[in-house]
Structure 1
């Protein structure tokens, strides 16, 4: 293994070790119950509680779906690599999933359903990080970082849920 590759492996191992140590030594931050006290708590349409909070997530579905279609439509975005295509695809999957996860959370706002609000956002955010690396640093490094970033983001949400018992997944 050449020196350059060894340095990259050491950097990845160090980043992973730092991530794990931080996850273990950082105390969980419980969510303030007032967080779920929305400004609009009316039931305006079809008996949907918090109606405006729920339906405000509909645009995420259409933006995400449009982005997914355009990513794969005759090179609309003129993406430079397969890694960039995968990263944008995963970003738009995350945006589309936000419409469902956030709607579910706003239907039943509590600490347990908050996980479903934050998980799709985390997928979208971590995909954007990979896109930044692809476009600004190195295509290959960004492509290789996509899966670890998304997995680390999802694990952070699951860790948060497991460490704080109030964040257990629930389906009312």
Structure 2
């Protein structure tokens, strides 16, 4: 018993040091790096084809999957089921609110990104960035509520949402994307870090790591936009593939929510069996 208590205390200290180190790293990044303005090349995409009168057609219509999964996920989160299928995957009101806002952010990405890609410029990029930061903040908070606790998760949720709005406003006013860049690190670093350090009370936790892998693949496609476009004979660009790949993430997470079970209930049911 003493050894177990000591071990738990050691793990808590180790986790605390990691959190403090991550926070200090973010502060150092903000205070000791020069301002990073958004590059004019950010608004230049290789595939600028105009099909059926829609500018940058593929970059616009590849946002449609976000609309579908955003609407269905929002219904799942609020109602716990759709098409008369009963789904009990959310065990608290805090989880319901956080997941609902995550899917609302995905829905916002569908409209914001499509609007931006119709005419990419600094004035429209706000509507592409804000829904994404809201979705990232909500998704990370969902994980914190699940793994650490409701109170900490809700505090994290409100703090990150405020930071999301402030980061977009800061970029708009001062032309500095450093705050927004930190939000880009939530899916590949913060989410798998928390998922690895803290145990889940639910099954199907592997979906968090699969989603992280899909996110990294999507970012690779964005960076290799030109090369991918040339390799596939100018059919679809890497940026359009990035949209489709990112839309897979809420689909995977929805599957996780639908099929996951409470581990303790599951173990209790197994013990009751003859």
Shorter chain as denominator, the TM-score bin is 0.7 to 0.9
Larger Rg: 2
Taking the TM superposition and a 5 Å limit, the aligned residue runs for 1:88-167 are: 88-164=99-175
Q: Once structures 1 and 2 are overlaid, which stretch shifts more, 58-67 or 68-77?
A: 68-77
Structure 2 residue aligned with 1:41, among 37, 48, 51? 48
Q: Number of residues paired by the alignment?
A: 150
CA contact 1:84–1:143 (8 Å) conserved in 2: no
| Root mean square deviation of aligned Cα | 2.4
**TM superposition score normalised by structure 1:** 0.77
In structure 2, the residue matched to 1:84 is 95
1:7-86 map, 5 Å:
27-45=34-52, 47-74=53-80, 76-86=87-97
How many angstroms apart in 2 are the aligned matches of 1:77 and 1:62? 21
Structure 1 unaligned residues grouped into runs of 5+: 1-14, 166-172
Greater displacement, 100-109 / 76-85: 76-85
CA separation of 1:148/1:141 partners in 2, compared to 1, >3 Å: closer, same or farther?
Answer: same
Q: For structure 2, list consecutive stretches of 5 or more residues without a partner in the other structure.
A: 1-21, 82-86, 177-274
Does the CA contact (< 8 Å) of 1:70 and 1:77 recur in 2? no
Which piece of structure 1 moves more, 30-39 or 102-111? Answer: 30-39
- TM-score normalised to the size of structure 2? 0.50
Contact 1:123 1:150 in 2 (8 A): yes
Give 1:146 shift: 1.3
The aligned counterpart of 1:10 is none
